[in-house]
C-alpha cells in the first residue's frame, strides 16, 4: 500500500503497464479498452489513492473547468445565505464547484472580484443585481463568459437573468397599503449610498403611493446596514419628524421587527395607531405575536434556478434568458 499523496495517471500507467492515455480513458469512463485493462487500472488507481487533477484537466486546451463564481453583496444577510444554499446544492448536484465572493453593494468591488475569479477560468459566474461597472461588462463580454444576473430582474441581461423586480415589490406594497386605507405613509431604509435594489423598492413604493393620490409623507434612509437596531432608531427618528404617519414600510424584515419593538416600547398600537410592513420574508417575521405584513422572496428557488440556468448555458443548451420568480406579498396583522 504505497502512498505519495499525489499519484498521477503516469504512476498508474507504470503500475499497470499501459499508457497514461488508456488510464485517462478508463478513469473518465470512456471506451476503447478491455474489461481486463479496466479492472487493473481501476484497482491500481484505488491502491495508489489517485485523486484526479482538475487543475491539469481545466488547464488543457479544452478548458473544461467546473468552477462557478458566485458574488453576493454580503453573507451576513440570511436571505443571501439562502440564495447561496440553493446555488451550492444545485451546482454540487450538477458536478460544479462554487467560488464565493462579496461586493458590499459596490460595483467596483464586484469588478475586482470578477477580475480575480476570472484568473481561475471559471465555467460561468453568478452576479447579484443588474448594476455593474463598464469594466465588468466588458470583461465578461470579451471573454464570452456565461453569466447569470440574479436577485434584481433585468429585461436586457448581459447573458441570463433570474429574479424579480424590486421596484414592483415596492409598488405592490404601496398599493396594498392604500387598499387597506392607509393615507400617510413613511419609509425607513438603510444602506442609502450602496443598495440600489433597496432604493428601487423605495421608489416603487413612493410611485405607487403618488399614483394613488397619497404620496409618501417622509422617509428616513440610514447609511448604516439594515439591522434590528437600525429599524428601531430609524423609526424613532422618522416619527420625531413626522408624528402623524399611519403606516411605515421598512427596507427589510429585520428593520421592521426593530420598528415593531420601538412601537411596543412607546406604547404605539400596531396596527391601530401605526401600520408596519417589512420585506424579505424572514422566518422570524411569521412567528411574531402579530404576524408581520411582508413580501416573501423565493431565495432558495432563485439560487437553484440560477445555477441550473447557468449550467444549461455552459453545456451549450439554450436556457430561458429571463426567469421571473415572483415574490408574494403576505398580509399579516401589522398593517
Partner DNA sequence: ACAGTCAGGTTTACCGGTAACGTAGTCCAA
Partner DNA sequence: TTGGACTACGTTACCGGTAAACCTGACTGT
Binding residues for DNA, rule: CB under 7 A, are 6, 8-10, 17-22, 24-25, 27-28, 32-34, 36-37, 52-53, 56-57, 59-62, 64
> Would you list the DSSP string of 291-321?
PPBEEE--HHHHHHHHHHHHHHHHTT----S
Contact residue for its own copies among 15, 22, 41, 101 (CB under 8 A): 101
Residue 61 binding result from DNA, its own copies, none, given CB thresholds of 5 to 8 Å by partner type: DNA
Q: Is 278 helix (H, G, I), strand (E, B) or coil?
A: coil
Minimum distance from residue 212 beta carbon to its own copies (Å): 32
Report d(CA 231, CA 261) in Å as an integer: 9
> CA gyration radius for the chain?
26
Report d(CA 91, CA 193) in Å as an integer: 33
Contact residue for its own copies among 49, 64, 223, 266 (CB under 8 A): 49
Site residues for its own copies, 61-90, by CB under 8 A, read 65, 67, 74-78, 80-82, 84-85, 88-89
Alpha helices in the chain (DSSP H): 9-16, 20-27, 35-48, 54-59, 78-94, 107-118, 134-142, 166-179, 196-211, 228-241, 253-266, 299-314
Question: Binding string to its own copies for residues 103 to 142, with x set by CB under 8 A, is what?
Answer: ----------x-xxxxxxx-----------------x--x
Residue 37 binding result from DNA, its own copies, none, given CB thresholds of 5 to 8 Å by partner type: DNA
Nearer to DNA, 48 or 302 (CB): 48
Minimum distance from residue 171 beta carbon to its own copies (Å): 28
CA-CA distances (angstroms) from residue 101 to 115, 143, 274? 12, 20, 40
Residue 28 binding result from its own copies, DNA, none, given CB thresholds of 5 to 8 Å by partner type: DNA
Nearest in space to 249 (alpha carbons), one of 195, 211, 208: 208
User: According to the binding rule CB under 8 A, does residue 237 interact with its own copies?
Assistant: no
Residue 156 binding result from DNA, its own copies, none, given CB thresholds of 5 to 8 Å by partner type: none
Beta strand pairing call for 67-72 and 97-102 = parallel
Please give the distance of CA 54 from its chain centroid, rounded to a whole number. 27
Nearest in space to 281 (alpha carbons), one of 82, 74, 71: 82
Minimum distance from residue 35 beta carbon to DNA (Å): 7
Q: What is the dihedral of CA 159, 192, 175, 335, to 10 degrees?
A: 130
Nearest in space to 81 (alpha carbons), one of 297, 313, 324, 269: 297
Minimum distance from residue 321 beta carbon to its own copies (Å): 21
Site residues for its own copies, 258-297, by CB under 8 A, read 258, 261, 264, 283-284, 286-289
Nearer to DNA, 6 or 141 (CB): 6
Beta carbons within 10 angstroms of residue 71's beta carbon: 20
Task: Give the footprint of its own copies on this chain (CB under 8 A).
Answer: 3, 5-6, 49, 51-56, 58-59, 65, 67, 74-78, 80-82, 84-85, 88-89, 92, 97-102, 113, 115-121, 139, 142-144, 227-229, 232, 254, 257-258, 261, 264, 283-284, 286-289, 300
Amino acid at each position: 500500500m504505497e502512498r505519495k499523496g499525489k499519484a498521477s495517471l503516469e504512476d498508474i500507467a507504470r503500475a499497470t503497464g499501459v499508457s497514461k492515455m488508456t488510464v485517462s480513458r478508463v478513469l473518465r469512463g470512456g471506451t476503447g479498452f478491455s474489461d481486463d485493462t479496466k479492472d487493473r487500472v481501476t484497482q491500481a488507481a484505488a491502491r495508489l489513492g489517485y485523486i484526479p487533477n482538475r487543475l491539469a484537466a481545466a488547464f488543457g486546451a479544452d478548458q473544461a473547468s467546473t468552477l462557478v463564481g458566485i458574488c453576493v453583496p454580503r453573507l451576513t444577510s440570511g436571505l443571501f445565505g439562502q440564495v447561496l444554499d440553493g446555488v451550492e446544492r444545485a451546482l454540487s448536484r450538477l458536478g460544479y464547484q462554487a467560488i464565493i465572493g462579496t461586493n458590499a453593494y459596490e460595483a467596483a468591488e464586484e469588478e475586482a472580484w470578477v477580475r480575480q475569479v476570472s484568473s481561475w477560468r471559471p465555467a460561468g459566474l453568478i452576479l447579484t443585481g443588474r448594476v455593474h461597472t463598464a469594466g465588468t461588462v466588458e470583461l465578461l463580454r470579451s471573454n464570452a463568459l456565461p453569466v447569470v444576473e440574479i436577485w434584481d430582474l433585468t429585461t436586457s441581461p448581459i447573458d441570463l437573468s433570474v429574479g424579480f423586480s424590486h421596484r414592483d415589490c415596492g409598488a405592490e406594497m404601496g398599493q396594498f397599503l392604500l387598499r387597506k386605507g392607509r393615507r400617510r405613509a413613511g419609509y425607513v431604509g438603510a444602506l442609502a449610498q450602496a443598495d440600489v435594489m433597496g432604493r428601487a423598492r423605495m421608489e416603487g413604493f413612493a410611485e405607487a403611493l403618488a399614483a394613488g393620490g397619497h404620496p409618501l409623507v417622509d422617509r428616513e434612509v440610514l447609511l448604516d446596514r439594515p439591522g434590528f437596531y437600525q429599524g428601531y432608531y430609524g423609526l424613532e427618528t422618522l416619527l420625531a419628524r413626522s408624528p402623524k404617519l399611519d403606516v411605515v414600510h421598512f427596507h427589510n424584515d429585520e428593520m421592521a421587527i426593530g420598528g415593531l419593538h420601538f412601537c411596543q416600547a412607546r406604547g404605539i398600537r400596531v396596527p391601530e395607531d401605526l401600520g408596519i410592513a417589512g420585506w424579505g420574508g424572514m422566518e422570524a417575521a411569521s412567528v411574531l405575536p402579530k404576524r408581520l405584513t411582508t413580501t416573501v422572496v423565493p431565495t432558495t428557488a432563485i439560487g437553484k434556478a440560477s445555477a441550473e440556468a447557468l449550467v444549461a448555458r455552459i453545456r451549450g443548451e439554450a436556457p430561458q434568458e429571463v426567469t421571473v420568480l415572483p415574490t408574494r406579498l403576505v398580509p399579516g396583522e401589522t398593517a
